[in-house]
Amino acid sequence: MSDTSDQEQIVAEAKKFAAEEIRPFAADFEEQAAIPKDLIDKMAQKGYLSASFPKEWGGLGLDPVYYGLLTEEIGKACASTRGLITVHTSLVGEAIVRWGSREQKEKWLPLMTSGKKIACFALTEPLVGTDARSVQTTYRKEGAKYIINGSKKWITCGCIADYFLVVAGGEKGIGAFLVEREFGGITTTPIKGLLAGRAAHIAEIEFEDVEVPAENIIGKEGSGFTYVVNTALDHGRYSIAWGGIGIAGEALDNMVTYSRQRSQFGRKLYKHQLIQGIIGDAVTKTHAGRALCLRAGEMRRDGHPDAVMETTIAKYFTSKIAMEITIDAVQVHGGNGCYNRYPVERLFREAKILEIIEGTSQVQQEIISSFGLRRYYRV
């Protein structure tokens, strides 16, 4: 098979895997507030925890387009499971692939690929969200080690992570450190009462005089935000853009299926013209969103200079249409849409999160507007 055929086969297998191993149990994962360890192990065996890593480091070597398509299939089945892949693979893994030294790659990537170690991205804090440059977690250099103190919040996979890619500030600026749980001085507290992401092991993390070897800094001291954080967030936004299409597509599937099975006023729901209008809009939005994601993936694959911006546009658009389509899916379900025995109730809640994480929709609008004001100004 050609490389393209190989990648298509991997995505096809991921779709089957999601249908058999994830989708039927997504509601159970949420109720149990956990992604089962055996599922994580199965995904590692399939290579999904390192799908975008180069084959040199044990990854599947998927190009951005096919990695996005795989992310969509996992995200359709369960947003929390997709969240694990987003933080472990896209945010942390891709940052190490891009900015880690060869020694760091040799040490950590194989463990991440095998699923023996799970990584999470520790940026957001109790008082710092969108303004990521203002992190209050600190580091200081003492001989051949760094000492880290501070708190992080809303950290996906924080409860189960073995590694924390911690963003902290010091004399030379922002630094990014790979902190291993076994170093000690780390306390993780599960966050309960969440609107969504209940199975994603989201936690608040305290770092108290955590000693980190100097070889665990990713990139240069002081360049953590400009290089490591921006790389991680760009890859994260790309993954989440496809996650939005996953939620939108799953909501559309459920909406159409329900409308063809449920009757009102002596006719199936889909026979009513206003329901047809809702479905028509949902189909159009889903196709448009997927086209944006595919375009962003192609540009990333080809190294296009506007790839980051196209990714931002795709993330903004798909998070927006995922919210719109899930609202309509709940409406089509009527009272049943408000009941957790129907997937659209969960999808509606999960969609809202996408408008907040990896940069709020309002921040994305500002970035896109700035781009537009430069690109489309006619002198």
Q: In terms of Cα–Cα distance, which of 71, 48, 68, 45 is closest to 60?
A: 48
Largest Cα separation within the chain, whole Å, is 78
How many of the other CB atoms lie within 10 Å of CB of 364? 21
DSSP string, 225-278: IIIIIHHHHHHHHHHHHHHHHHHHHHHHHHHHHHHHH-EETTEEGGGSHHHHHH
Instruction: Return the ∠ at Cα 112 (arms to 108 and 115), rounded to 5°.
Output: 140
Q: What secondary structure does DSSP assign to 265-290, as a single string?
A: TTEEGGGSHHHHHHHHHHHHHHHHHH
Cβ atoms of residues 53 and 93 within 8 Å: yes
Range 174-191 burial, b when 16+ CB lie within 10 A, else e: bbbbbbbbebeebebeeb
Which one, of 77, 136, 129, 105, lies nearest residue 350 by Cα?
77
Helices (H), the chain: 3-17, 26-32, 37-46, 64-77, 79-85, 94-99, 102-114, 230-261, 273-301, 307-333, 343-354, 361-375
The residue type at 174: I
Catalytic residue among 72, 211, 358, 366: 358
106 included as an active-site residue? no
Q: What tokens were used for 173?
A: 């600026």
Return the DSSP state at 136: -
Please, are residues 157 and 210 in contact by the beta-carbon 8 Å criterion? no
Cα-flanking dihedrals φ and ψ of residue 210, to 5°? -80, 125
> Which is nearest to 219 in space by CA: 250, 177, 258, 186?
177
User: How many angstroms separate the first and last alpha carbons of the chain?
Assistant: 51
Residues catalogued as catalytic = 358
